[in-house]
Amino acid sequence: MKWGLTIEEAVKFHGHLGPWLMIGYRAGAIARDKLSPKDFHELHCTVRVPNKVPYSCSIDGVQASASCTLGKGNIVVEDSSDFEFVFVNATTKESVKLKLRRDVITELLSKSIEEAVKYVAGLGDWEIFELS
């Protein structure tokens, strides 16, 4: 892959491995898979999460995997309790809206960071997100 960071590089970029970083990273990876961008400018993302840690850690995950970055202006963050990641391929106009499942949020909030990392790592993409 010519662009986008590995999860290990994402951890270096963000500073630590946490469940919300993983969730954003997974959302960006799904979007790349579904929307097949040809380069690092093509995807645009709107992240709708509460604008505070740990939820906002997911923003760094999206930046790492999807290369939707603040510097390039192809990511927008909206303070929201919707827990949604909306991706658009600017060329094809195709989009995908990934909504974090409520039961996942509940589980994450009941666990330590270490437990939550293991929990997210054990979930399939569609156990984390639903298309909305």
Distance CA 73, CA 75 (A): 6
DSSP helix/strand/coil, 16: coil
Residue 101, judged by CB atoms within 10 A of its CB (0-12, 13-18, 19+), counts as middle
Nearer residue to Zn ion within complex by CB, 42 or 60: 60
Our CA angle for 37, 40, 44, nearest 5°, is 70
- Candidates 57, 62, 64, 120: give the one binding Zn ion (CB under 5 A): 57
Residue closer to Zn ion (CB basis): 24 or 37? 24
Q: Helices 19-35 and 57-66 sit at what angle, rounded to 10 degrees?
A: 30
Interface with Zn ion by CB under 5 A: which range of 22-30, 42-50, 51-59, 88-96? 51-59
Minimum CB distance to Zn ion, residue 20 (Å): 6
Query: Is 61 a residue that touches Zn ion (CB under 5 A)?
Result: no
Q: Nearest distance from residue 93's CB to Zn ion, in Å?
A: 32
Q: Which one, of 88, 89, 28, 38, lies nearest residue 58 by Cα?
A: 28
Q: Nearest-CB residue to Zn ion?
A: 57
From residue 8 to residue 47, what is the string marking binding to Zn ion with x (rule CB under 5 A)?
Answer: ----------x-----------------------------
Binding site for Zn ion (CB under 5 A): 18, 57
